[in-house]
């Protein structure tokens, strides 16, 4: 992204130049619906990010500008104070305000500042633009005012912003990946202990490509229902194995012991989660060996499980997954919670052009929608840019 344009706009608006920061969006290679079951996820920061230009303004107010917003539907300027009662009405500005308030709750002082927010993380494509925004603002304020937070604390501040000022009860993965991203590596995050480890991901000869179905199926409280489903299975297993508190602690043998005590639906959902946790661990070992073909097969296994066992896919996602398989793509699966969004695909360079053309043409013919295509590369996390 050309940051000189937002720097120029900052100078036009505020009469001076500011410091430039970025924080990236993320992908998750494998490990879905494992987070709230105490398992692992395997995200990586990508080469699409939220950027900000920022400078203290000597007041007790924040003056914010978001040129990417649509001026016909939402204000692109926002000015607000930093007390709890000053929450701005613009949703995009609430992220900035929330980060400030969460920092204040930790005993720090935030003077007023001017800020421009821009970026190239596609909205609604499952690459966590909101977490990138929170991490960008948090990292910038931490640096500008020498607040002394480490990256883990900044990730928690971003998560708390979602919970308390946006109303989304998200996990920690998105903010963690945005803060801790490392070029050429994925992060295996233990969602129970929050310990993490980097694994190599430099698939020379392959591309990591997202195909966005451009659909979202609203299915009520499906996510919470699946979480409850897993909890029911854990409760049944724990009667005999009290050490089991999350599906992360359970084995397939333990699950088989309670087959007659849980519903068939609860059983197969729990089976998927236990298998997915192990599948992620196996994939990490394959990445250490550089075996991307085998890692890709694990991705297909995940999609099958998400579709047939956890039942969070949809016809559009299954169609794109099947197109990938027919085209010889190394790996493909639904990325994210399901019911729409993107497939993530590990595609050999030699197959890329033909796959994208055939998949998009066939998808448009079947569903009347042109899917969006995003190529992503694994990059570093939040940082200051030297201009």
Contact 129, 123 (CB under 8 A): yes
Site of tokens 């002394």: 148
| CA 239 to each of CA 93, 228, 230, 354: distance values in angstroms, whole numbers, following the listed order | 48, 17, 15, 53
CA–CA dist 266, 321 (Å, integer):
25
174 assigned to active site: yes
Tally: H helices and E strands in the chain: 11, 13
CA–CA dist 86, 257 (Å, integer):
55
CA–CA dist 192, 38 (Å, integer):
5
CA–CA dist 334, 330 (Å, integer):
14
Length of the chain: 387
Site of tokens 């692992």: 40
Q: In 10 A of CB 226, how many CB atoms?
A: 23
DSSP string, 76-117: SEEEEESSGGG--SSHHHHHHHHHHHHHHHTT-----EEEEE
Catalytic residue among 68, 86, 114, 174: 174
Site of tokens 């190529």: 375
CA–CA dist 10, 52 (Å, integer):
10
CA–CA dist 6, 100 (Å, integer):
22
**Both tokens assigned to 259:** 């087959």
| Residues annotated catalytic, as ranges | 174
């Amino acid at each position: 992204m050309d940051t000189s344009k937002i720097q120029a706009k900052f100078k036009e608006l505020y009469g001076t130049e500011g410091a430039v920061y970025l924080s990236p969006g993320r992908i998750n290679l494998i490990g879905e619906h494992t987070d709230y079951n105490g398992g692992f996820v395997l995200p990586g920061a990508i080469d699409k990010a939220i950027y900000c230009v920022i400078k203290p303004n000597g007041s007790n107010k924040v003056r914010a500008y978001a040129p990417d917003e649509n001026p016909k539907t939402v204000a692109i300027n926002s000015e607000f104070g930093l007390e709890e009662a000053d929450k701005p009405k613009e949703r995009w500005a609430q992220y900035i305000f929330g980060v400030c308030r969460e920092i204040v709750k930790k005993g720090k002082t935030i003077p007023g500042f001017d800020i421009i927010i821009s970026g190239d993380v596609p909205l609604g494509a499952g690459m966590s633009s909101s977490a990138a925004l929170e991490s960008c603002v948090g990292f910038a304020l931490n640096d500008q005012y020498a607040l002394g937070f480490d990256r883990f604390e900044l990730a928690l501040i971003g998560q708390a912003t979602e919970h308390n000022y946006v109303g989304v009860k998200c996990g920690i993965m998105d903010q963690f990946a945005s803060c801790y991203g490392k070029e050429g590596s994925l992060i295996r995050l233990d969602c129970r202990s929050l310990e993490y480890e980097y694994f190599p991901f430099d698939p020379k000869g392959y591309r990591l490509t997202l195909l966005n179905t451009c659909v979202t199926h609203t299915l009520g409280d499906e996510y919470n229902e699946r979480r409850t489903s897993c909890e029911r299975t854990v409760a049944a297993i724990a009667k005999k194995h009290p050490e089991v508190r999350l599906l992360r602690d359970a084995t397939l043998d333990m699950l088989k012991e309670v087959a007659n005590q849980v519903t068939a639906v609860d059983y197969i959902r729990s089976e998927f989660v236990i298998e997915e946790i192990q599948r992620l661990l196996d994939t990490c070992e394959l990445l250490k060996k550089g075996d991307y073909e085998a890692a890709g097969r694990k991705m297909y296994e995940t999609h099958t499980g998400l579709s047939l066992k956890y039942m969070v896919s949809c016809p559009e996602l299954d169609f794109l997954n099947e197109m990938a398989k027919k085209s010889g793509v190394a790996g493909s699966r639904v990325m994210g919670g399901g019911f729409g969004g993107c497939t993530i695909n590990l595609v050999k360079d030699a197959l890329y052009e033909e796959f994208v053309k055939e998949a998009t043409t066939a998808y448009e013919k079947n569903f009347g929608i042109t899917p969006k295509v995003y190529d992503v590369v694994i990059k570093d996390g939040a940082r200051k840019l030297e201009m």
